Structure formats: structure tokens, C-alpha cells
Amino acid sequence: MRKEVRISGFGGQGVILAGVVLGRAAAVYEGYNAVQTQSYGPEARGGASRSDVIVSDEEIMYPYVRRPHYLVTMSQEAYDRYAPQVREDGLIVYDSTLVEPNEEHDVEHVGVPATRIAEEQLGLRIVANMVILGALRELTDLVSEEALKRAVRDAVPPGTEEVNVRAVEQGARGVRE
Amino acid sequence: MSGRVEFLQGNEACAEGAIAAGCRFFAGYPITPSTEIAERMSERLPEVGGVYVQMEDEIGSLAAVIGASWAGVKAMTATSGPGFSLMQEHMSFAAMTETPCVVVNVQRGGPSTGQPTKASQSDVMQARWGGHGDYEVVALAPSTVQEMYDLTVECFNWAERLRVPAVLLADEVVGHMRERVILREDVETVDRELPEEGEEVREPFPLEPDDLVPPMPVFGRGHRVHVTGLTHDERGYPATDDPEVHRRLVRRLCNKVRKRARRIHESVGYDLIERESDLALVAYGGCARTVLEAAEELNATVFRPRVIHPFDPDLVRRLLDGYEVLVVEMNLGQYVEMIERALDAECVHALEYPGGYPPTPERVIEEAERLQG
């Protein structure tokens, strides 16, 4: 098992943190190998910031994502840039509040209104990253729900653990329904 | 390996390794892609009773580190290419005054300010010869986040054993990536040999034997030692006109490192994966991750040194003689020159890959196949 994940969006939406949480869940709580890399500098400040995670049960040598199995995207610019790179048998999870999918990309798509869920159900727009991460986990089973929640608690600012864990749960519910 | 399991950036792991090694002083001037080291040290050092100073520049940073070391504290700075250039005056001074210290260089593309957020391995030669004069350093190249931790500890240990500046020759690939790391509790640490407290040290800088590492006096403990960057005699006083004193001094500064090259390589370790092949790939640091993957695909032997300096030509000859050798590095050919010195130069080839990223495994495979015709 070796899966390449790209989480992308605007700088400031927390896409880097989402990648770190996923990598941590896999590496610390599931015993997998995981490598997380990200865009830096000017590249990270526009509308196509990215956080890449490779999860594998074998050693990960070359650390960069080449063709994602899973693309999570929270901005149109990131969608437009990264959707063509997704493997044919891959999956695109997009924030349907912000992204209009393009039918030309013949890959399975799942839309989750992550930003709307964050605003309306959690009262905090900024946890949309955890909503969509919860949705990704539910769809892919990359890591267990328990592992993901533990990693969320480790990684988010103190005092915000509960709202972030609820965001993960709401994201999972969003794709189950 | 027992310790706390974490998921950290290489730079963060480096800072944790420094703390574990006993580092209690950091002076630096943050620069991409090494900034997270300074950032984490500024949080961690006060927790363990250490001191963090943000300096006015890199020249002052290494000067402060040298001062702290003479006050008896394990000290470190971290920088990247342009900052490493500014530090060279004091790399040379630290070598001459035999000051143990650790300098982390998370390499980025150059010359000059180059590519701040991108990876490079173009300071391999500068690590050894960036400063003026005849001297040797220890330089280690990590390939994983775990090695950012472990080799930082090794840098401190070799700096203390040999009284030299030790360079962690990292790169942006391993500095910025996150991976699982075990923050070991069972770290072996080495402390420099000290003279007896209050003892008058008559000859703090003996000239013989030529590989001697003398005990290091500590400022403020009554040793009354004179420390200078000028060529000095056994007592530490300038002796700039005596060719024989200079010869013996610089020979010892170099030989205390050179004569221990094999021991350093064996103690720090290297990867040698031998396969039924005429081809051997050689790589170090972040770039080695590409090469390990490509070598598996090619069924080629692979050699990954962790020790870049001092080079050990006999070891390389023993491991790689008889192979067609392909050296892959993120520069226009630096480590390959050392390999050429050890082997039949006609059998040594290079994939030179500056630009900010390591080559993909596919690129390395393509080059290897071209080589094999």
C-alpha cells in the first residue's frame, strides 16, 4: 500500500495543517510510514498552496508526490492546477462551497460543502480544513477515525481541540449522507 | 531505540537532537530554509536552562557560539548558504583556536542569495574549505528526519572529541519534510576533556603528537590561557615568524581529523547495499532518497555516506573498486571530485542536478541506462 495525497487551497485555509494531521495520524498512531512536504515561499501564498502526504506500509524513499491518488482541494485555482495530475483511478474531494468542478477531468469527484458546514454547523469558518479532512478519511479509510482524531488533538492550537474534532465528525457525516 | 515518537520537520528534529546532545547555547540569524531550527531553539533552550540569542548577523552568530564554547557550554548556530558564507571567517577562527561547535547549514541554491526555498547540495566544498588556511572539519549529511536528530548529536560528539567545528550539511529536502522521528532517550553524549579546575595550564596548545586533541581550558576557571587566531606556540602565544611552529600547528589541526577518518566513518555509519551489478550509485543527503529508490529499480549497488568530511579514500576504494560509479548530487559536481580521487576516474560519472529539487528516480534510471549503453 502506497498512497499519494495532495491537500490544496488558498494560503490561510489550513491546508498545511491538514496534511500534517494526516501524516501524523498515519506515522504516529497507525504505524505506517508517512512523509509530508509542502509548498514554500511565494508559491505558498497564492490560491494554490499545497501540502502533500505519502502514506505507505513500506519505506518511503523519494519523498515527493508525483501523481496523487487523492486530491483534496479548497480553491478553484488549486483545483484547476492539480486536478489534471490525479491518477485515473484516483479521487478528487472538493469543497463545493468554493470549487466548481470541470467535467473534462474524468476522475471520480466528491463534493463536500466544507466551508458551509464549518460556518453553519460549527460557527467557525476556519475549521473547514478539518471538515474536508474528515470527509477524505471517511471516503478512503487511509487512517482510522480514532487515529485521525488523536492527531487532530495533538496538532491544533490548545483550546480548539473539541471544535476541530467535531469538524472532522461533521465532514465524515457530510459524505455518509 | 526508545524515546518519544513524533512527526516532525527535519529542522525541528535537528533542534531536538541538539538539546539531547547537551547544547545549551544558540546564537543565530534566521534564514530560509533553516529558520525552524532557530525558532524551535528559542522555545526549547529556556525550558532546559539554556540561552538563545538572536544576533545582528551570521558573523556575530558564530562569534557568540565560539565564546560560549570557551565558557564551557556546548553551542550551535544554524544557517543556510549566504549565512554560511558570512560565517567562514569564524569557521577558520574556530578551527585555529580548536573550538568545539556545531554549525548547521541547510543548503539552498546559490551562488549568492540564489533559491531561498529550494534544495541544493552546493556547499560541499565550502564546508571544508570555505574559510582560509589549512584546516579540517567534520561534516555529516542527513537523509531522513531521524538522521537530522541523530547526526546533530553526532556533530556535537565529534566536535567535542576533536575540538573542531562540526557541520551538519543538511539540505532543504530533509530540513522541511516531516517524517516519523524517535526522540531517543538513550542518546550517547560526549563531553570535551577538561584540565583540572584551577590548574595552571602551561601548554594548552601542544604541537606533538601530530594528531593530539589537547584538553580544553574553560574561561573563568583560573587556567589563564591565551587564545589567538595567530599562529601560536605551545603556550598559546603568537609565534608567527617560526616556520616550524606553523608547520607543526597546522599539521596537527588537520591530522587530528584526517587520521581519524576511518573511525568517524565507522562510528557514524554509511549505507552500502550490494547487488549483483556492475553499476554503483553514490549519493548523500536528501538526494540519496531518490537514488536509493532508483538503485532498487536498477538492481544496482548503492553507497550512501553520512560522513562527507573527512573523506576516506581507502574506504571508498575498498567498497566501490571495480564498479562503474554514478554520483548523483544537487550541484555541478563536488562530492564526485573526491570519489574521482579515490577510484579510477574513468569509471566515475556524475549526474549533476542543481535547480532546487532532487532528480526523480526516473531521471536517475534514465541516466544509468544511458551510461550502460
Domains of chain B and CATH, by start? 3-184 (3.40.50.970), 270-371 (3.40.50.920)
Look-up: residue for cell 528559542?
B42
The stretch B221-231 carries a mean pLDDT of: 93
**pLDDT score for A76:** 96
**pLDDT score for B208:** 93
Query: Among B57, B177, B47, which residue's Cα sits nearest to residue A20?
Result: B177
The stretch B352-367 carries a mean pLDDT of: 98
Contact call for residues B91 and B159 (beta carbons, < 8 A): no
Query: Among B237, B239, B287, which residue's Cα sits nearest to residue B118?
Result: B287
Residues 6+ apart with CB under 8 A from A13: A49, A74, A75, A128, A129
Task: State ipTM.
Answer: 0.96
**pLDDT score for B97:** 98
Q: How many CB pairs under 8 A join A and B?
A: 58
Domain parsing of chain A, residue ranges: 2-176
Least CB-CB distance to B180: which of A33, A37, A61? Answer: A33
CB contact under 8 A, B7 and A33: no
C-alpha cell at B63: 562569534
A2-176 CATH fold: Pyruvate-ferredoxin Oxidoreductase; domain 3 (3.40.920)
Q: Are strands A108-112 and A91-95 parallel, antiparallel or unpaired?
A: parallel
SS3 labels along B107-128: ECECCCCCECCCCCCCCHHHHH
Distance from A41 to chain B by nearest Cα, in Å? 6
Using a CB cutoff of 8 Å and minimum separation of 24, what contacts does B339-345 make? Answer: B339/B282, B341/B311, B341/B313, B342/B311, B342/B313, B342/B314, B342/B316, B342/B317, B343/B316, B343/B317
Percent of chain B with pLDDT over 70: 100
Substitution target in B4, B115, B176, B178 with the highest count of A β-carbons within 10 Å is B178
Distance from B176 to chain A by nearest Cα, in Å? 7
CB contact under 8 A, B290 and A43: no
B173 touching chain A per CB within 8 A = yes
Q: Is A103 exposed, middle or buried (0-12, 13-18, 19+ CB in 10 A)?
A: exposed
CB contact under 8 A, B360 and A20: no
Torsion of CA B216, B222, B223, B225, to 10 degrees: 100
B304 touching chain A per CB within 8 A = no
For A57-82, the pLDDT digits (tens) are 999 999 999 999 999 999 999 999 99
Q: List the end-to-end C-alpha distance of chain B, in Å, as a whole number.
A: 44
CB-CB neighbours of B344 under 10 Å: 11
For B208-220, the pLDDT digits (tens) are 999 999 999 999 9
Is the pLDDT reported for residue A42 higher than 90? no
Query: Among B166, B161, B259, which residue's Cα sits nearest to residue B210?
Result: B259
Contact call for residues A112 and A94 (beta carbons, < 8 A): yes
pLDDT tier, A39 (very low <50, low <70, confident <90, very high otherwise) = confident
pLDDT tier, B224 (very low <50, low <70, confident <90, very high otherwise) = confident
Contact call for residues B64 and B56 (beta carbons, < 8 A): no
Contact call for residues A31 and A40 (beta carbons, < 8 A): no
- Tell me the pLDDT of chain A averaged across its residues: 96
Q: Please name the residues between 216 and 275 in chain B that touch chain A, using a CB distance below 8 Å.
A: none
The stretch A103-116 carries a mean pLDDT of: 96
- Tell me the pLDDT of chain B averaged across its residues: 97
Distance from B21 to chain A by nearest Cα, in Å? 24
Q: Is this model's pTM higher than 0.95 or not?
A: yes
For B147-204, the pLDDT digits (tens) are 999 999 999 999 999 999 999 999 999 999 999 999 999 899 999 999 988 888 999 9
